Amino acid sequence: MLMNMEQSQAALVEHLKRLERKQAELQRTNRRLGSVIGAIILVTGALVLMGQTSQPQTLEATEFVLRGSDGKVRGAMGVLPDGAVGLNLTDVKGQTRITLDVEPDGSPGLDFYDPQGKLRATLALSSIGTPGFGLYDETGKLRTSLDVPAVNTPGLAFTNKMASPPGELRNVPRAPI
């Protein structure tokens, strides 16, 4: 009977050891499962937030101002009181260097300025769509123009300082800054 009892105890101890091993395995599996579920929740939350921020946003204003890291105005885009709309880009000194605009009559233009802020080149279309290109001297006078004022009548003009220059290509509104 003693032998039977010892065998029973040995079997019981072996069974308990096996149960302890299984419990340790289950605990490890639970920790891994908890980590995986936490990661899934984190990724799902991030995807939901990214989905909310990627929806189109509308920002409306009559003027947008671009500032450099030093706080200086480097450009502006806006609508002028007369209805013209324009984009004005400046250099680090605050001088206008490029403007892109559309006048109230619908004529678009692109203007380039020298470091002193003087208009030096213009590419424009009139309100009826005739194109023109102008080059200006250091005083702002139109000296060379290439345009097509009427069907099949292109024009090329060179004006020296002694002669009076041809008419300006167009009056160009500037974007506000």
Residue 33 three-state SS: helix
CA distances from 172 to 64, 70, 84 (A): 19, 29, 9
Residues 100 and 172: their CA atoms lie apart, in Å, by 9
Model confidence pLDDT, tens digit, residues 23-50:
888 888 888 888 778 878 887 877 777 6
Q: Please tell me whether the overall predicted TM-score, pTM, comes out greater than 0.75 for this model.
A: no
Q: Provide Rg for the chain, Cα atoms.
A: 38
**pLDDT at residue 1, rounded to an integer:** 63
